[in-house]
Amino acid sequence: IRMASCGEVDHSVSSLPSSKKGSGGGGGGSGSGAESSCSDSNGSSPALSVPECAICLQSCVHPVQLPCHHVFCFLCVKGASWQSKRCALCRQEVPDDFLERPTLLSPEELKASAGGRSGATSDHAWYYEGRNGWWQYDERTSRELEDAFSKGKKTAEMLIAGFLYVADLENMVQYRRNEHGRRRKMKRDVIDIPKKGVAGLRLDADAVAGALSSAGRENSADGADTTTAGATSVKLAPSVAVHTQP
């Protein structure tokens, strides 16, 4: 994963507009139509409603704040962690348990995404199989899958957590492009089915917080369960005055 060089763009939580700090307003994770402002070296581009990710060069999807206060997509941090346990911008070390207990900037946006209330134009969503349940893909990946499906394509490629995946839309399985043997079931279903969470972030964080153990993560970066207990607990950034869903 290559680190972006973004000049004067500030990727810390302090770069969020004041309306976002403490509101946790929904819809921040869709990233639709957002372009990287890294090319604007004068810093004259208008303020974005969500921070930009210096790893994928797009607006953050489910942004998380590292202890150094830099902000990235959750899945981008997860993918980068397989190569280095350091921040992609300042190189400060990232705690070993950060992916199990990420500091999510907007829990309300996560719940809106799971409930189809964040600007989705369809009453269907895309899911991949996890342990004892289904995970919903993040909105950006879901849009790419829906677009390929609506056009009658047999396959679609997805960039998830720094890895290229192939979605086989005929057999409804996904696999890494360079690792065909390991496959994960996927499906298209209505938005309100029971689910474990979105892109590896559990919705019932409070209920599963006690299930976390010191066991190692799966050797996977596609939003799969991240501990043997299958739980990722979410913490709030100090500037976000909202509560997680019980």
pLDDT confidence of residue 118: 57
Burial class of residue 188 (count of CB atoms within 10 Å of its CB; 0-12, 13-18, 19+): middle
Q: Which residue has the higher pLDDT, 226 or 121?
A: 121
Q: Is the CB of residue 105 less than 8 Å from the CB of residue 13?
A: yes
Least confident of 23-37, 184-198, 203-217: 23-37
Q: What is the pTM of this model?
A: 0.62
Written as six digits, the tokens of 29 are: 């994770």
Domain residues of the chain, as ranges? 49-105, 121-203
pLDDT confidence of residue 121: 60
Predicted confidence (pLDDT) at residue 212 exceeds the cutoff of 80 = no
Q: Give the 3-state secondary structure of residue 46.
A: coil
pLDDT confidence of residue 119: 55
In CATH, 121-203 is 3.30.470.10:
no
Predicted confidence (pLDDT) at residue 100 exceeds the cutoff of 90 = no
C-alpha to C-alpha distances, 197 to 41, 85, 120, 127, 230, nearest whole angstrom:
38, 24, 17, 10, 11
Predicted confidence (pLDDT) at residue 210 exceeds the cutoff of 60 = no
Contacts of 199 (CB under 8 A, 6+ apart): 61, 62, 74, 75, 135, 136, 137, 138, 141, 223
Give dist(CA 188, CA 71) in Å, integer. Answer: 30
Q: CATH number of the domain at 49-105, please?
A: 3.30.40.10
Do 121-203 and 49-105 have the same topology in CATH? no
The pLDDT tens digits of the residues spanning 149-204 come to 999 999 999 988 888 999 999 999 999 998 888 899 999 999 888 999 998 888 76
